[in-house]
């Protein structure tokens, strides 16, 4: 999960990293809070993607008039498909130079690696392409951890005066503590602002946390829910389902167990001219109760006219899938088309349950292609 800058800096602050003065605002009425800061300020759009500056989402303000103008323009801006609903106002400080520093999880070695460069404030990928020598790497061994000589090595490789070692070593230790404590896959400061007197500041912040570890961090789970506007996504999370909004033009939904199964359904439906509006991943071992809740959540969307359930029954039994559909029909039936295809454990019992429903809009299909074809026929012959 990628955190927005203001949340990343909140974590930075908890671990003593130098983030400077800042205020978070979500509407223009909150701008008077910026009086806590001194001009000049930076007005920064908060979206979970990069490229904010290039899109015009980061602007300097030297007075209240400029602050109001920039805030009014940036709030509501679309940046790579994300609407700006939050602004971070930060105190603009004088910087002598900019460095790049990050700790990321190296998938090949399964270890954290430090990436450091004396050329910060720009895309590190561009720096690496133009001048690979401008990037220094240092692997962190879990049995040894960070060592001060490692920080000295990074400064030496970048030709940076050793006078910066105390401040850099302190910065690096705090960043690594955060990286470990929050199960991060990335902690990035770009740029590290080099200030007068050898002080360092985290001018920008990026933090990515392993999705599999989110259950250990209640504050991040709460933040994730605050960011989400789709009620169905939030409702699905209560049952540990993954609800995925897809094509806004679609009228078909997919429920399956596994991302591969979902993608194959979406692709095949799209090839047959059927756009999928939403998909829901059940995970494994779904009971009839959970199947019923999944169907309820998906079909609560008034734009969805038909549902394709495609389940490979292993841990999830086919009779449980059919039982969940029956329970939905008994408690919530809206008359929408449901096509179910399941394969595996207790398939024959599941088919028997489906046959007993006696609804012409609830159908069993004996295969993925057959299920898609049923939906195509229903579209062409409603």
The string of pLDDT tens digits covering residues 24-42 is: 999 999 999 887 888 999 9
Query: Based on the domain organization, do 210 and 252 belong to the same domain?
Result: no
Q: What is the DSSP letter of 4?
A: P
At 139 the pLDDT is 97
CATH number of the domain enclosing 39: 3.30.1490.20
Closest by alpha carbon to 201, among 98, 115, 52?
98
Quick one: average pLDDT of 138-149? 93
Quick one: average pLDDT of 330-350? 93
pLDDT at 113 over 70: yes
At 382 the pLDDT is 56
Is residue 381 very low, low, confident or very high in pLDDT (cuts 50, 70, 90)? low
Query: Based on the domain organization, do 84 and 154 belong to the same domain?
Result: no
Query: What is the total residue count of the chain?
Result: 382
Residue 16, in any domain of the structure: no
Which stretch of DSSP H or E encloses residue 294?
A: helix 288-299
CA distance 240 to 188: 30
What is the domain count for the chain?
Answer: 3
- Domain interval for residue 50: 21-92
Collapse the DSSP code of 2 into the 3-class scheme (helix H, G, I; strand E, B; otherwise coil) and give the result: strand
CA distance 137 to 128: 12
Residue 10, in any domain of the structure: no
Query: Based on the domain organization, do 133 and 186 belong to the same domain?
Result: yes
At 82 the pLDDT is 86
Q: Which of 63, 92, 121 is the last residue of a domain?
A: 92
At 283 the pLDDT is 81
Is residue 329 very low, low, confident or very high in pLDDT (cuts 50, 70, 90)? very high
Query: Based on the domain organization, do 208 and 252 belong to the same domain?
Result: no
Query: Based on the domain organization, do 366 and 244 belong to the same domain?
Result: yes
- Specify which residues 104 forms β-bridges with: 113, 186
CA distance 180 to 104: 11
Q: Which of 39, 61, 92 is the last residue of a domain?
A: 92
CA distance 259 to 262: 5
Closest by alpha carbon to 375, among 330, 309, 295, 279?
309
Query: Based on the domain organization, do 197 and 107 belong to the same domain?
Result: yes
Query: Based on the domain organization, do 82 and 102 belong to the same domain?
Result: no
pLDDT at 285 over 90: no
- High-pLDDT (> 90) share of the chain, %: 78
Q: Per-residue DSSP letters for 82-93?
A: EE---EEEEE--
At 129 the pLDDT is 86
The whole-model pTM stands at: 0.80
């Amino acid at each position: 999960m990628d955190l927005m800058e203001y949340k990343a800096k909140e974590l930075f602050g908890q671990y003593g990293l130098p983030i400077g003065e800042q205020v978070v605002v979500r509407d223009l009425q909150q701008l008077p809070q910026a009086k806590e800061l001194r001009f000049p300020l930076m007005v920064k759009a908060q979206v979970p993607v990069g490229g904010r500056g290039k899109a015009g989402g980061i602007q300097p303000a030297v007075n209240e008039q400029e602050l109001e103008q920039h805030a009014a323009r940036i709030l509501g801006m679309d940046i790579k498909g994300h609407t700006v609903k939050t602004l971070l106002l930060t105190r603009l400080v004088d910087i002598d130079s900019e460095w790049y520093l990050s700790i990321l999880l190296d998938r090949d070695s399964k270890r954290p690696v430090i990436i450091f460069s004396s050329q910060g404030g720009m895309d590190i990928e561009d720096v690496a392409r133009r001048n690979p020598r401008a990037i220094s790497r240092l692997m962190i061994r879990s049995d040894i951890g960070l060592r001060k000589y490692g920080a000295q090595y990074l400064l030496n490789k970048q030709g940076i005066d050793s006078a910066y070692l105390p401040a850099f070593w302190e910065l690096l230790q705090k960043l690594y503590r955060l990286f470990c404590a929050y199960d991060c896959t990335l902690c990035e400061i770009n740029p590290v602002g080099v200030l007068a007197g050898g002080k360092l500041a985290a001018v920008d912040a990026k933090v990515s946390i392993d999705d599999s570890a989110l259950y250990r961090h209640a504050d991040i789970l709460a933040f994730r829910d605050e960011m989400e506007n789709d009620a169905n996504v939030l409702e699905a999370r209560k049952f540990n389902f993954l609800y995925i909004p897809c094509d806004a033009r679609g009228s078909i939904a997919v429920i399956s167990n596994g991302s591969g199964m979902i993608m194959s359904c979406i692709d095949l439906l799209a090839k047959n001219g059927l756009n999928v509006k939403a998909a829901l991943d059940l995970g494994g071992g779904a009971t009839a109760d959970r199947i019923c809740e999944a169907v309820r959540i998906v079909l609560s969307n008034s734009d969805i006219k038909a549902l394709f359930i495609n389940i490979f029954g292993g841990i999830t039994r086919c009779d449980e899938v059919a039982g969940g559909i029956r329970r939905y029909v008994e408690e919530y039936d809206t008359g929408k088309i449901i096509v179910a295809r399941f394969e595996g454990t207790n398939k024959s019992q599941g088919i028997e349950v489906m046959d007993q429903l006696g609804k012409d809009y609830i159908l069993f299909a004996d295969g993925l292609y057959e299920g898609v074809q049923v939906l195509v026929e229903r579209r062409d012959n409603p």
